[in-house]
Every structure is written in structure tokens, then in C-alpha cells.
């Protein structure tokens, strides 16, 4: 019998499924919880999540269940991998079943609309007695489950939590670095989704490499500026959770946000694009919230503002490009004057 500490992953989407299989490969028994009882039973039997990661067999140590109490019983480490829109509800549901000593880690890259809350802030509100952390980085689920070489970041103020996550996830193909800047890591993971939409649009319009390089670099500047005003360390944006995840998300059609942008740039309506993707596109909700917060704090974010005008104010792409290229000049790199 396997006596390794039990782990739970809450959320049976693409990342939750890949994460649970990664944990199983490291010889830890892991319970993957999903809301739908029928789907949980089917995946447990077939060993394949056909909706999110077809053609990949789950590790034998992954147990797929729809019972939260069963998933969390005697569990020492819990990863929450659900969309930001339901994050608080799910946390409230699992609260009665958590072991007193359990560590709780969010892998959700989004922002809650209720008061502009990050997922770690929701954990702090709902689970104040549990050590909490954030796992983020350039991690496509499909490549993780294929055991491609991957790096990620665990951010927490709790050293024991960091060590437990690293011991659970690190392997010959998965490396986990540490950071104590939860807000910076979390904001980077949410903000980059906005800019992946922009780059996807640029690719669809056959923009050159000069344009793509400029967009990604100026996107990073906006991310750093906004994160600084929110109390994060802008240097965090230079690591895996920032520039690493930005490059990944802006450069591959495995990214739902990139695919949304590409569809919009190809002339499809927002509704058509979302229906085509068929999964939650976190960047849309994040764009709305960040635009509102940036206006409130008077943070200069021309790219995010331009995308908002295109998607929600029905401005044309050509008029927005003209506005961006004729706007006031600003510094290239200035960490002291963010």
C-alpha cells in the first residue's frame, strides 16, 4: 500500500487534470474532484478526460471523484484549479471537509469581480487558518501531461508550504521555483491573458515580427506598472510567472486567450469566437476588471484600454492602431517611475 501523503486537486479542467497526473507520476496518491458525478465516474473508469485532454491516459494513482468529503479526507495538500468566477463558491463548499493542517494552493489565473479580489485574497478571507499559496507559470496542460520539460513558480509567505509543494511536484521533467510575492505572481498570471488576446489578433492580421516583439514588450511594461500600483514587486514580472508565461501564452494556439484574439482578428464576432473555443476564456473577465481598476488608479495602460475599446465599445482595429501609434511617447524601461 502507498503511504505517501494524500493530495487533492479540485477542478477537472485541463490544468487540474494535468496537475493531478503529474502528482501521480511522482508516486503520490491524488484525488481529482469534479462537480459532475457522471463525468467523474466515466473518467475514473476510462482513465481519460476526453473533453479537456483527449488521448492521454491518467496516472494509476489519480482517483477521480465527485464527492468533496472523499477527496479531502486526511488530505495534506490541496490545489484549487477552477475558473475565477466560481472560485469562492468552491472554496466555501470544501471548507467543512479540510483537515486542520492542510495547505491550500490556488492555480487559477483570474480575478474575482467582487471587489477586485485575487484568489489568494479569497483564500485569506474564507480559510484564514490555512497556509495558502499560488502556483503559476508557463505551464500548458497538454505539455505537462506529456512530461515535457516545464518550470513553474510557487509563491507563498509560508516556507513549509513551499517545501511541500516542491516535494510533491518536482521531478526530472517538472521544476518548481519559489517566490514570496503572491500578488506579483498571481497578477502576472491573470494579466498576461489580456495581452495574449492582443497578440493573437495581431497574428491574424499578419503583422510582422517587429510588431509582435513591440506588443509583447510593451505588454510586459503595462503588467509591471499595474502590478506595482497594486502593491506587487515589479521584478516578479521578469521571472517565469511574468515574462515566461507571457511569452508562452502569446506564442501558441494552445492558449485559449490567443485563440480568441486570433478569431477576432480574423473577423469573427466575440460570440462566434467564444463558441468556437468552447471553454472559459479568463482574459475577457480580467480585461473588464483591469480596465476599471486602472482607470480608478489612473494607471497608464494603452494596450489594455485599446483592446477594451475594440471588444466592448465597437471601435475599429484601424482607428485603435492609429491612436496607439500617435499617443504621447513614454519611457522604455523605468522601474523607479512606475
Catalytic residues: 192
Q: Please answer whether residues 106 and 185 qualify as being in contact, where contact means their C-beta atoms are separated by less than 8 angstroms.
A: no
- The DSSP code for 172 is S
Q: How many CB atoms lie within 10 A of CB 223?
A: 29
Q: Which residues pair with 106 in a beta bridge?
A: 80, 134
Q: Check: CB of residue 197 under 8 Å from CB of residue 262.
A: no
Q: What three-state secondary structure class fits 104?
A: strand
DSSP for 236-285, written as a single string: GGGSIIIIIHHHHHHS-TTSHHHHHHHHHHTT--HHHHHHHH-S--HHHH
What values do phi and psi take at 103, rounded to 5? Answer: -90, 140
d(CA 241, CA 195): 14
Helix (H, G, I), strand (E, B) or coil at 106: strand
Grid cell of 310 as nine digits: 475594440
Q: Which residues contact 53 (CB under 8 A, 6 or more apart)?
A: 14, 17, 18, 141, 142, 145
The CA dihedral of 29, 33, 37, 40, to the nearest 10 degrees, is -50
Around Cβ 206, how many Cβ atoms within 10 Å?
8
d(CA 143, CA 159): 28
C-alpha cell at 7: 493530495
Amino acid at each position: 500500500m502507498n503511504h505517501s501523503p494524500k493530495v487533492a486537486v479540485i477542478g477537472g479542467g485541463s490544468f487540474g487534470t494535468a496537475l493531478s497526473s503529474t502528482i501521480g507520476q511522482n508516486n503520490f496518491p491524488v484525488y481529482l474532484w469534479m462537480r459532475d458525478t457522471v463525468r467523474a465516474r466515466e473518467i475514473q473508469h476510462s482513465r481519460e478526460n476526453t473533453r479537456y485532454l483527449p488521448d492521454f491516459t491518467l496516472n494509476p494513482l489519480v482517483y477521480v471523484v465527485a464527492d468533496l468529503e472523499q477527496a479531502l479526507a486526511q488530505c495534506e495538500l490541496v490545489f484549487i484549479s477552477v475558473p475565477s468566477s466560481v472560485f469562492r463558491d468552491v472554496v466555501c463548499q470544501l471548507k467543512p471537509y479540510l483537515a486542520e493542517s492542510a495547505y491550500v494552493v490556488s492555480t487559477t489565473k483570474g480575478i474575482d469581480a467582487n471587489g477586485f479580489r485575487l484568489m489568494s485574497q479569497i483564500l485569506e478571507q474564507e480559510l484564514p487558518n490555512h497556509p495558502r499559496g499560488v502556483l503559476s507559470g508557463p505551464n500548458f496542460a497538454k505539455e505537462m501531461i506529456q512530461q515535457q520539460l516545464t518550470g513553474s513558480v510557487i509563491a507563498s509567505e509560508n516556507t513549509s508550504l513551499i517545501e511541500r509543494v516542491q516535494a510533491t511536484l518536482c521531478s526530472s521533467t517538472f521544476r518548481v521555483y519559489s517566490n514570496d510575492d503572491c500578488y506579483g505572481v498571481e497578477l502576472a498570471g491573470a494579466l498576461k491573458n489580456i495581452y495574449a488576446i492582443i497578440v493573437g489578433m495581431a497574428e491574424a492580421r499578419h503583422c510582422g515580427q517587429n510588431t509582435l516583439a513591440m506588443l509583447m514588450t510593451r505588454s510586459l511594461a503595462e503588467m509591471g506598472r499595474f502590478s506595482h500600483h497594486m502593491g506587487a514587486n515589479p521584478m516578479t514580472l521578469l521571472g517565469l510567472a511574468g515574462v515566461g508565461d507571457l511569452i508562452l501564452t502569446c506564442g501558441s494556439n494552445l492558449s485559449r486567450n490567443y485563440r480568441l484574439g486570433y478569431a477576432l482578428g480574423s473577423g469573427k464576432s466575440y460570440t462566434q469566437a467564444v463558441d468556437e473555443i468552447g471553454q472559459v476564456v479568463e482574459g475577457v473577465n480580467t480585461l473588464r476588471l483591469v480596465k476599471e481598476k486602472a482607470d480608478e488608479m489612473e494607471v497608464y495602460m494603452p494596450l489594455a484600454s485599446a483592446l477594451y475599446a475594440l471588444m466592448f465599445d465597437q471601435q475599429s482595429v484601424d482607428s485603435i492602431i492609429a491612436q496607439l501609434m500617435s499617443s504621447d511617447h513614454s519611457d522604455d524601461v523605468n522601474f523607479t517611475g512606475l
